[in-house]
Amino acid sequence: MLFELNKIILAYPKPQGRVMVFKELDLTIDEKEFVAIVGPSGCGKSTLLRIIGGLILPTAGRVLYNGVPQHGVNSECAMVFQSFALFPWFTVRENVELALEAMGVNGRGRRTRAESYIDRVGLGGSEDAYPRELSGGMKQRAGLARALAVEPKVLLMDEPFSALDALTTIALREEVLRIWEDKEFSVQTVIMVTHIIEEAVELADRVVVLSSRPGRIVDDLRIDLPRPRDKRQQPFIEYVDRIFSKLA
């Protein structure tokens, strides 16, 4: 078991009382899984992703990574954000290098490694471009290159396609699947938050459905369909319907 979340409680103080985001939430994730977390808006799915990555510490409960309690940021995870989270005053290469610098990778090796990952996500030729010059798809490729360059075992993706147009989304979904399946990349496990049910069923091995706040798991569904998955086929539609019925 890669991640084990035990009785996670997350509560925020508010003037009118406490907001309970999670109340004793349990979740396990195995190595090499592609897990999608879905749920209604505001249910805490992005927060859950940050708890898994150690970016947010729960109020109570614990997160085990490979059986060891996690007390802070998990260095074997990297995150891809909906809004790309690129520094606008840095070029693509500098954005990727910055992540490596934070890891202590210095000298020529840093530049070579940054360029290698920029190339591998199809952004070779745009190393010196600033984020404002790039299309949404290219920005997210830069976000992917930055995440992959730190050679994480786990890729955490928070609504990675929701700021992109439909055609770019199709191209990038394929890219993410390729990265997950490609042994040349370090990524073994992908955990993705999305509000698009079809996207979850199209990509994931497993879909975890969260309820409205306080978030609890109302379904945990294994998607037993071969890839590439055809959205128009009845089994696909049945999975989507089942998830929608849990959310309704």
Partner 1 sequence: MPTIEPLPHAMSSQIIGLLEALHDRGGRDDIYKLAKELNLELGDLMAAIRGGELFEFATTPGGDVELTDLGKKLLRARTPGKKKLFLAQMKKVPLFIQLQQLLEQAPGKRLDKERVLEELTKWLPDEDTAQQFETAINWARYAELFGYDQDTGDCYLPEE
Nearer to partner 1, 33 or 127 (CB): 127
Among residues 18, 135, 244, 245, the one that binds partner 1 under rule CB under 8 A = 135
Task: Name the packing angle between helices 108-120 and 92-102 (round to 10°).
Answer: 120
Residue 184: left if φ>0, alpha if ψ -120 to 50, beta else—which one?
Answer: alpha
- Rounded CA-CA distance 121/134 in Å is 14
Q: Is 28 helix (H, G, I), strand (E, B) or coil?
A: strand
Q: Does 129 bind partner 1 (CB under 8 A)?
A: yes
Among residues 45, 120, 146, 206, the one that binds partner 1 under rule CB under 8 A = 120
Type of residue found at 9: I
* First CA to last CA distance, the chain: 31
Among residues 42, 87, 170, 235, the one that binds partner 1 under rule CB under 8 A = 170
Q: Does 125 bind partner 1 (CB under 8 A)?
A: yes
Q: Let me know: does 36 contact 239? Beta carbons within 8 Å.
A: no
Among residues 73, 228, 241, 244, the one that binds partner 1 under rule CB under 8 A = 228
Residue 122: left if φ>0, alpha if ψ -120 to 50, beta else—which one?
Answer: left
Q: Does 172 bind partner 1 (CB under 8 A)?
A: yes
Among residues 26, 30, 101, 133, the one that binds partner 1 under rule CB under 8 A = 133
Q: Is 170 helix (H, G, I), strand (E, B) or coil?
A: helix
Q: Does 233 bind partner 1 (CB under 8 A)?
A: no
Angstrom distances, CA of residue 162 to CA of 89, 196, 232, 243: 24, 9, 22, 19
Report in angstroms how near the CB of residue 29 gets to partner 1 at its nearest.
Answer: 28
| Binding region for partner 1 (CB under 8 A) out of 77-85, 95-103, 108-116, 163-171 | 163-171
Q: Does 183 bind partner 1 (CB under 8 A)?
A: no
Report in angstroms how near the CB of residue 228 gets to partner 1 at its nearest.
Answer: 6
| Binding region for partner 1 (CB under 8 A) out of 6-14, 41-49, 116-124, 191-199 | 116-124
**CA atoms in the 13 A half-sphere facing the CB of 217:** 18
* Token code pair at residue 145: 């290159």
Q: Does 26 bind partner 1 (CB under 8 A)?
A: no
* Token code pair at residue 109: 């090796």
Among residues 124, 220, 235, 238, the one that binds partner 1 under rule CB under 8 A = 124
Binding site for partner 1 (CB under 8 A): 119-122, 124-126, 128-130, 133, 135, 137-138, 141, 165-172, 174, 178, 228, 230-231
